[in-house]
Amino acid sequence: MTYFLITFVFMSIVVAIMAIGVIFGRHAIKGSCGGTGNCVCEEKCDKRKKLEAEQAEQTIVLDSKIKI
């Protein structure tokens, strides 16, 4: 039980420090932009470029099926 409390307090402190850093820094947390739908990266990563290309291709296919 003691280890759980120590771990919980430590992780809570880490999360609080990260939140304070984001609030005062006014920057989004850096990392991969894939999977969330909200890409805040200045230059898109390869994973995001591939995903957007696939989505555009699916949109074109769906548009062509609707017009028939």
Beta strands of 1-68 (E only): which ranges?
none
Cα(46)–Cα(51) distance, rounded to whole angstroms? 9
pLDDT band of residue 12 (cuts 50, 70, 90) is very high
The token pair at 35 is 């999977």
17: in domain: yes
- Positive or negative torsion for Cα 62, 37, 31, 5: negative
| pLDDT tens readout for residues 15-54 | 998 888 777 776 555 555 545 556 566 677 788 788 888 8
The residue range of the domain holding 58 is 2-27+43-67
| Domains: count for the chain | 1
For position 26, what pLDDT does the model report? Answer: 62
Q: Letter for the amino acid at 40?
A: V
The token pair at 57 is 């291709």
35: in domain: no
